[in-house]
Amino acid sequence: MRKLMAVAVVAMLTVATVFAQKSETVKIGDATIRIARDKFGVPHIYAPSIYGIFYGSGYAQAQDRLAQMELYRRTAKGELAEIMGEGALEQDKQRRILGCTEAERWEQFSSLSPEEQLVLKAFADGVNAIISQVNAGKRPMPQRLKELGLTKLRPWKVTDTIAIAQMMAERFGSSGGEELRMLQLRLYLQIRFGAQAMSVLNDLAWQNDPTSPTTVTSDIGHGTRDEGRGTEKQKTQNFVPRHPSLAPLTDAIRIAEEWDSIEWCKRLGLFTKFGSYAMVVAPQKSATGKPLLVGGPQMATGTPSIAYEIALYCPKFQVRGMTFAGIPIVLIGMNAHLAWTTTSGAGDNVDIFAEHLSKESKYRYLYRGEWLPMERRVELIFVKGKDEPVQVEICRTVHGVVLRWDEKAGVAYARAKAYWGKELGALRAIYGFHKATNIRDFAEACKHIATSHNFFVATKDGDIGFWFCGRYPIRAEGVDPRFPTPGTGEFDWKGFVPFEKLPQQINPPTGFFANWNNKPATWWDNGDLPRWGAIHHVKRIFDLLQSKPKLTLEDLRRFVIDIEGYDVRADFFKPLLLRAVQRVALNDTELRLIADLLKRWDNQRSEGSVAATVFDAWFEALQDTIFADDLGDFGDKNLFRMAIQPSLLWYVLADRPPRKLSRDYLNGESKEDVMVKALRVALERLRKERGEVVNWGFRKPLWRFDPLPPIPGPNRGAYIQIVEVSSPLRGFNILPPGQSEDPKSPHYADQHALASRWQFKPMVFVGTANTE
């Protein structure tokens, strides 16, 4: 209650108390750009032209986040080792292997419209105005870059922005490419189960559970299972090497999953997390009769934030929201007519192809009856402390870049991306959102998005909409999307699912949309991993949105706080456990007390909650009790925990499981006996590790902002916006720890304390475009 009261207090802040602390005027030719900073340092940029507004965007971003921008462009282009030394070499190799060449970035730039090119050029000019000041000694070099030994910065190029845009679009919109890990699992299961291995793998990695919660709330005819995916018919196994070598397989997985790049991103406080949530409420379910929208992108934690807030005002549009440092436009936000947000779509848009190699040369492969040469190039990576650059050979086939050769097995693994060369479609679409005035404009813009994203909008007209966006391959009949596809040509993709056939909906009968990277529609299948099953945390959002007939902004703020710590597993498994104790352990005093504790638990993973700790421990013990004896631990306990998903346990323990498994994983024991046995194991483990019950309080994970203090409860958006689409639009947002990367700035951490108390700041437009 105190949290909500604090939220309400901040919610009553007026525009006058937030705006404006500092104003700066920049002259470019005959045009004047005004940059007004509000109380939290958010730049509100006013300009009479497209060039002026995005020059101002680059200028303001470079003022606030120049070091972050430098690290972003070097990460994206694989040039970190030049300033960080040999430790960053593997990250640079991965980025060079998986990314585009500079020539390909320029090619994508040339495919943009003249106005879109102007946006990137103007932004680069604005950034370079600040870089020139730094290089001339008129502005201090950011401390972070100074510590790395930089004394001069190279000019910002449009391809720097393109590289960052491609990297971010791929990081949050690329899904799939896990076929090698599934192949590794299959080999492991073959050792344990022999001919039954595929049956067990099908238990672990199902293709479709129609009970999984979906964003499209009714099957309204935009697609069927056989359109585009056809996995119901995909019964045959793909060709895979009979005796693949584990070392090349692991190396290929390391590159495909970007282990080294992600590790460096963690060190630098860049992006590492995949996920986001969204809530959209239609007028008929809103207490004010106006649509409501929540966006909570969950991307990373650190100082500075991955997100950056900006407001742009020009004659063509006014827009406010978050972006990434180095990106000129607002990625999630609102314009004068509508508000929008996005989440990662998690649709399978990446495949691994197994290329059949020639015995004469590992650089030749069989394709459509011919031995083709691989495309080969050498990249040079400059490394701090080394006299000579490191040479990296990169090869491509018709399918994509080669991750690794397994010459013993006669194959090379190539990575095919459905969105390859079209990553800038997301920038084109979102720039279209800036100018959209209604839901039709918004839907039209969504067609350009090639990576996998869910997009949501609420408009002043009272419409709300959802689109599952991206390019998804139509796979050949007989292909199992969980394993590498033969690269000889006959199993190539047959095209892409048309945009009109993808899951999408406008004005749902429920009066709302809910999403937390969940399944888009009942007929849309899993790809190489079982991402969507019966149990999914989006259920809590559905339950909250259905909890009242009419909803307010205050309700949505309360929901955002609630979902951070709610354990949706308890909705499914706690009733089963309580019933089991009642049936088979009624005379066990300790278990009755524990059952009473769990019964009174609100399913929140609150700091100090003994019930949350007990439930966590029981769930882990349940995984071990049911599956460890049959499956082993996969050689990696963390991988085991990840593979034995809550949905899989539900398929074993539910009264009426939605899926039938291939074997009895309970090995003849009753469900109740197994659950009670796991509870006893969990309690014994807790006593051994933590002593008396008084020490069993739940320890909430921490949201880290080093060097600032951490905030308990990281399961929240790195940026959160809550908007009522009224006239004018109004809302609230938070972007901790602050706008600036400079520890000396008053806006370095001025949102940190607010976020720790679940408070928000006003999100409004101020003034109109400067048309001087």
The reported pLDDT for the residue numbered 225 is 45
Which pLDDT does position 221 carry in this prediction?
42
Query: Binning pLDDT at 50, 70 and 90, where does residue 184 land?
Result: confident
Mean pLDDT (whole number) for 550-559 = 98
What count of other Cβ atoms lies within 10 Å of the Cβ of residue 194? 8
| Residue from 659, 615, 616, 607 nearest 641 by CA | 616
- pLDDT tops 50 at residue 602: yes
Per-residue pLDDT of 308-318, as tens digits, reads 999 999 999 99
228: confidence class by pLDDT, cuts 50, 70, 90: very low
In whole angstroms, give the CA distance from residue 486 to residue 484.
Answer: 7
Q: Residues 572-584: pLDDT tens digits? A: 999 999 999 999 9
pLDDT band at 641 (very low <50, low <70, confident <90, very high): confident
pLDDT class of 371 with cuts at 50, 70, 90: very high
Question: Which pLDDT score is estimated for 21?
Answer: 67
Q: How far apart are CA 124 and CA 722, in angstroms?
A: 31
Give me the mean pLDDT over the 189-199 stretch. Answer: 93
The answer to whether 525 and 231 have CB atoms below 8 angstroms apart is yes
- Residue with the bigger pLDDT between 249 and 571: it is 571
Tell me the HSE value of 87 on the side-chain side, using a 13 A CA sphere.
Answer: 7
pLDDT of residue 248: 72
Assigned token pair, 660:
């039938």
Number of alpha carbons in the 13 Å side-chain half-sphere of residue 110: 6
Question: Within 13 Å, how many C-alpha atoms sit on residue 396's CB side?
Answer: 16
- pLDDT grade for 266, boundaries at 50, 70 and 90: low
State residue 88's pLDDT score: 94
With a cut of 50, say whether residue 231 has pLDDT above it.
no
Per-residue model confidence (pLDDT) at position 126: 98
Distance CA 618, CA 567 (A): 13
CA gap 662, 651 in Å, rounded:
11
Q: Are 342 and 455 in contact (CB under 8 A)?
A: yes
Residue 635, pLDDT score? 79
**pTM of the predicted structure, to 2 decimals:** 0.94
Three-state SS string over 399-463 comes to CCEEEEEECCCCEEEEEEECCCCCCCHHHHHHHHHHHCCCHHHHHHHHCCCCCCEEEEEEECCCC
Encoding tokens for residue 117?
Answer: 């090119």
Which of the four pLDDT bands, split at 50, 70 and 90, describes residue 29?
Answer: confident
Of 321 and 17, the one with more pLDDT: 321
Residue 772 has pLDDT above 90, yes or no: no
Q: What is the reported pLDDT for 240?
A: 58
Mean pLDDT of 367-383: 98
Q: Point out which residues pair with 186 in neighbouring strands.
A: none
* pLDDT of 601: 98
Does the pLDDT at position 4 exceed 90? no
Residue 634 has a pLDDT of: 82
Average pLDDT rounded to a whole number, residues 3-26: 54
Closest by CA position to 28, among listed 143, 91, 111, 121: 121
Q: Is residue 767 scored above 80 in pLDDT?
A: no
pLDDT digits (tens, 9 = 90+) for 62-71: 999 999 999 9
Burial class (CB in 10 A: 0-12, 13-18, 19+), 592: middle
Predicted confidence (pLDDT) per residue in 655-699, tens digit? 999 999 999 999 999 999 999 999 999 999 999 999 999 999 999
CA 296, CA 340: separation in Å to the nearest integer?
Answer: 11
Task: Give the sheet arrangement for strand 276-281, strand by strand.
Answer: 512-515, 276-281, 292-297, 720-724, 730-734, 761-763
Q: What digits encode the pLDDT tens for the residues 269-288?
A: 655 555 799 999 999 999 99
Provide, rounded to the nearest whole percent, the portion of the chain with pLDDT above 70: 91
Read off the pLDDT band of 503 (50, 70, 90).
very high
Q: What is the pLDDT of residue 637?
A: 80
Summarised one tens digit per residue, pLDDT across range 411-451 is 999 999 999 999 999 999 999 999 999 999 999 999 999 99
Residue 640 confidence class, pLDDT cut points 50, 70, 90? confident
> Per-residue confidence at 8, pLDDT binned at 50, 70, 90?
very low
Q: How would you write 77-88 as a 3-class SS string? A: HCCCHHHHCHHH
Q: Is the pLDDT of residue 2 over 60?
A: no
Query: 597-620 burial string, b = 16+ CB within 10 Å, else e?
Result: ebeebebbbbeebbbbbbbbbbbb
Q: What is the residue-averaged pLDDT of the chain?
A: 91
pLDDT of residue 224: 46
Distance CA 473, CA 468 (A): 14
pLDDT band at 768; cut points 50, 70, 90? low
**Amino acid 416: pLDDT:** 98
pLDDT for residue 7 is more than 60: no
Given a contact cutoff of 8 angstroms between Cβ atoms, the answer to whether 177 and 415 are in contact is yes
Beta strand pairing status for 350-356 and 364-367?
unpaired
Residue count of the chain, please give it: 772
| Position 267 pLDDT exceeds 70 | no
- Choose between 612 and 770: higher pLDDT: 612
Q: What is the DSSP letter of 194?
A: G
